[in-house]
Every structure is written in structure tokens, then in C-alpha cells.
Amino acid sequence: MRLFLTIAAVASVSLAPAAAADVPVTDANLAYTGRWTTESAGAVPHWAGAYVTAKFTGTTVKVKARAAVNFYASIDNGPDVFFAGVKGTVPLTPSALPAGTHSLRLSYRSGDTIFQGLGLDAGASTAPVTPPPKLLEFVGDSITYGALTSKLALSAYGWQVGERLGVRHKQIARSGYCLVAASGCVGQAAQFFRTDSTGDTAWDFTRYQATAVVINLGTNDAGHGVSGPAFQAAYTKLLRDIRAKYPNATLFAFETLKKRYVTETKNAVAATGDPKVRFITTEGWLTTGMDYADGDGHPNDGGHTKIADRLAPILAPALFA
């Protein structure tokens, strides 16, 4: 009897499942794109369209969430799957993956947007990620943010262009923002240089360098009484200030879809005297009603795709020349 009990005890120990592997947010193999900060609670994405990518071994992966959050996850370059109102340790692989090395991309939408790390199979580990060397940054308001589209930032033209061209991409955009600060309207002339869409903490531009920057501002300024001369002066200064942060980037001034401040925007481009600052005309790109979610204000998913169709070949030479 004693022998039986001893063998049973040994068998019980040998069959106990091994502990899953934890991946902290500081893991050197995680690749963060966009403006992220690491805080005591985890890694925090700022502005729209920030994402984190990883490679991992094993057959399953989980993400850790402190509280209810909405995010998108893409595994092995597959579709972005939406996880709504999840928290705790969230399984991302309802079916086991084939053995081997896999990829993951996470992008947060809303809620408690704090990334607290990954959970992998016992004995699994992360592997180095090699992000594309080129990076596109899109600066704007609700249109660049992707307001009224199905996936917000992930449906917006900037995300689509970045994915199409195979480069890293980031949207420094928020609904309702202007170029010039005015009552009820935050001005990107100053906020672009800050870590978050709210607050005054300066962003550390040594963290990454954009290859090209697309600026789509002016749609909201007209409703806040910004004069043409004030807009032109602010746009000229913004272009020069961005050039100071990104000495080698090509800067593109995007003609607003409502054709507001067109002359002033062109004049601002000319005033820089910089051959790598260019104006993009958007004449005829979208059709009122058909390509908008609300008549003529915010492009729908198809409208953003049409913008990406036009914009990608304009930006490609600046990225790959």
C-alpha cells in the first residue's frame, strides 16, 4: 500500500501542468509603434493608431488587461479581430495555432487602454521583431482619426496607406481638433509636439523619426473664426517646427476635403522654401454623399479607401526613392 501511494504521488507531480510563460511590457522583443509610455500599470498608447507587435513560439497567446478595454488583434497577418469589453487574461487564440513561430499585432480602440503584457504556452518565448524601417505619420482631426468608420483608426486612410505600402504608421489625430488653438478647439500647432492628445508633456522626438508626415488640418478652424492670415502663419510655423524635429522627413500639406484655407495652405508650403515640403491637391477625390458617412463631412470606409488609393502612389516615392 505504501508503495502504491508513493508511485501515485510521484505520478501526480509529473502530470501537473507547467506554468505559462509571462511576457512583460518591457520584453526587448516587443516592438512599439507610435507614442507609447511605460508606467507602473503597463505600457500606454497615446494618440490614435498606435500598436504593438510581437513574435512568439507556441500554439496560443493571451493579452493581459487591467480593466474593460476594446482592442483589435491580428495574428499571423490575418484580419484584425475586435475584442470588446474584455479584461483580465484574454485568450486570443480560440483554436490552437500550428507549432512554430507566430506574429501578433495589438491596437487599442477605447476603454482602459493599458497593455500589461502577454501570456504564452509553457516553454514558449518571444522572438525578435524587425519592424519596417520607414514610418509615416499622419496629423489631423476627426477625418485622420477615422471618425464614423467601422474600425476608427484602423479604417482611416492613414492606416490603410501604411499597410498598403508596408511601412510603420501613426495617426496624431483627434476629433474636433484645429490647426490654431481657439475656444473649444485644441490646436495641433502645439499639441502635435506633446506625448498625448491632452496635456502638456512634451514628446521625446528622439524616440523615433518619421520618414514622411502628412498634415490634414483646417477643416475645423473655419468654424472657430480663424482668419486666413492667422491660419497661414500658424501653418508655416508648424511646417518649420516639424522640420526641426524631423530633419530628413518629407512633409506633405493635404488639401482639406472641404477645400478650406487652400490658398493659405499653398502659401505656407511656399513660405518654407523647403523642397521637401509639398502640397497635395485632393480635387475630385471623393463624391458628396456617396463617399461620406454624413453627407460631406466624414468619409465612410469606402471614402477612406478612395483617399488611400490616391495618396499611396503620391507618398511612395518619398518613402522608397
Question: What crossing angle do the helices spanning 157-165 and 301-320 adopt, rounded to 10°?
Answer: 50
Quote the CA–CA distance of 233 and 189 in Å, as a whole number.
11
Taking residues 248-261, what's their average pLDDT?
98
**What confidence score (pLDDT) does residue 18 get?**
63
Answer yes or no: is pLDDT of 119 > 80. yes
Helices (H), 136-251: 142-145, 157-165, 188-191, 228-245
Are 236 and 268 spatial neighbours (Cβ–Cβ below 8 Å)? yes
Compute the average pLDDT of residues 286-291. 97
C-alpha separations of 186 from 65, 132, 181, 189 in Å: 30, 32, 5, 9
Three-state DSSP at 230 gives: helix
The answer, yes or no, to whether residue 19 has pLDDT greater than 70, is yes
Model confidence pLDDT, tens digit, residues 233-243: 999 999 999 99
pLDDT in tens, 90-102: 999 999 999 999 9
pTM of model > 0.85: yes
Q: Is the CA virtual torsion 60, 64, 67, 70 positive or negative?
A: negative
- Taking only the tens place, the pLDDT of each residue in 148-196 is 999 999 999 999 999 999 999 999 999 999 999 999 999 999 999 999 9
Q: Name beta bridge partners: 61.
A: 120
Buried b (16+ CB within 10 A) or exposed e, 11-29: eeeeeeeeebbebebeeee
Could you report how far apart the first and last alpha carbons of the chain are, in Å? 79
Q: Give the model's pLDDT for residue 321.
A: 84
CA–CA distance, 243 with 33 (Å, rounded to integer)? 20
Give the separation between CA 166 and CA 172, rounded to whole angstroms: 19
| pLDDT (tens digit per residue) in 59-87 | 999 999 999 999 999 999 999 999 999 99
The pLDDT of residue 124 is 98
299: cell is: 468619409
Residue 212 has pLDDT above 90, yes or no: yes
In contact, 72 and 83? CB cutoff 8 Å? yes
* pLDDT band, very low/low/confident/very high, at 20 (cuts 50, 70, 90): confident
